[in-house]
Chain A
Amino acid sequence: MEKIPGKNRKDKVFLYALSTCAWCKMTKQFLKDNDVEFEYVDVDKCEDEDLDKIKKEILGKGGSLSYPVIIVNDKTLINGFRKDKIKETLGI
């Protein structure tokens, strides 16, 4: 798990991403540009036993296995780089 520091720590922002995915890269950059502190995991680099847990967590929160998956404060899940939704949720 990687932590990207930022001055905006109002919400706990967690990101499931793929290291090869351009949308995920864009999401990481967007959060950095807005100085939002977040943690992320590149799912394609995860160990096998973790994949099942990740799948269950995303599906359990009502999301789809479509990356990036942004989880705010352990409850709000956003699938895909939907800028407006991310801005609205984080109030940025």
Chain B
Amino acid sequence: MITLEKVRQRAESDAKTYGYYLNPDAKFLQDLLEGLKSNEERHGYPACPCRLASGKLEIDRDIICPCDYRDPDVAEFGTCYCALYVRKDVFEGKIPVQPVPERRPLGKQTRSYTVAPTTSEKKPEPSTAVAKEPTEIKKKLWYCRQCGYVVFREDPPYICPICKAKREMFAEIAVRIDETG
């Protein structure tokens, strides 16, 4: 079972790694951590507490905390969408915490409104989960042209997690399967 302390430690350690801080408002931070905890209990992964998760891993992958949008949001607005992670100047109170506009594309948001939530469903085995991926999500191989990091997902990341290169540095790896051998 996931504890609130574990959720807090994970967020603290991640903030440290990336040079961010956690929200300085203790009550607000507590609410966010509790939200993450309940999403992890409901869905099996810590989906963003301030977004509607579908309960389907493949659909929610980009909003699992830390979400895909955190780095560009912290860079532009000083906090991520839910305001769990904040920049140093926000942490020090030099800039107020404000609601951040949603960066997640509408097409991805609306997927949560059409699929059944998994709260009452049994969690699928990892092997069947892969086989049952929704067909509309086309995953591709992307590589970072700066450091060579390779990722298999729908879109390239906003920022390379290894060398911090921007999304523009990612290129698709074209895969050709030759069935004739």
Binds A, one of B49-57, B139-147, B157-165, B171-179: B49-57
In residues 11-40 of chain A, which contact B (Cβ within 8 Å)?
A: 18-26
Given A18-B50, A21-B50, A23-B82, A65-B102 contact (CB < 8 Å): yes
The number of residues on chain A lying at the interface, defined by a beta carbon within 8 Å of a beta carbon of chain B, is: 23
In residues 1-58 of chain B, which contact A (Cβ within 8 Å)?
A: 28, 31-32, 34-36, 38-39, 49-53
In residues 66-86 of chain A, which contact B (Cβ within 8 Å)?
A: 66-67, 80-82
Closest B residue to A43 by beta carbon equals: B52
Given A22-B31, A23-B82, A48-B116, A65-B52 contact (CB < 8 Å): yes
A4 part of interface (Cβ distance < 8 Å): no
Q: How far is the CA of A54 from the CA of B114 in the complex (A)?
A: 11
Closest B residue to A44 by beta carbon equals: B52
B77 to chain A, nearest CB (A): 12
A52 part of interface (Cβ distance < 8 Å): yes
Q: How far is the CA of A82 from the CA of B109 in the complex (A)?
A: 21
Report A-chain residues with C-beta under 8 Å of the C-beta of B102. 64-66
Q: Are A55 and B113 closer than 8 Å at their CB atoms? A: yes
Q: Are B114 and A22 closer than 8 Å at their CB atoms? A: no
A70 to chain B, nearest CB (A): 12
Q: How far is the CA of A25 from the CA of B31 in the complex (A)?
A: 8
Q: How far is the CA of A19 from the CA of B28 in the complex (A)?
A: 14
Chain A: residues with CB nearer than 8 A to chain B? Answer: 18-26, 43-44, 48, 51-52, 54-55, 64-67, 80-82
- CB-CB nearest 4 A-B residue pairs: A20-B35, A80-B99, A22-B31, A20-B49
Please list 27 pairs of residues, one from A and one from B, whose beta carbons are closer than 8 Å in the complex, sorted by A's number.
A18-B49, A18-B50, A18-B52, A20-B39, A20-B49, A21-B35, A21-B50, A22-B28, A22-B49, A22-B82, A23-B50, A23-B99, A24-B50, A44-B52, A44-B53, A48-B116, A48-B117, A51-B112, A52-B114, A55-B113, A65-B102, A65-B109, A65-B113, A67-B51, A67-B52, A80-B101, A81-B99
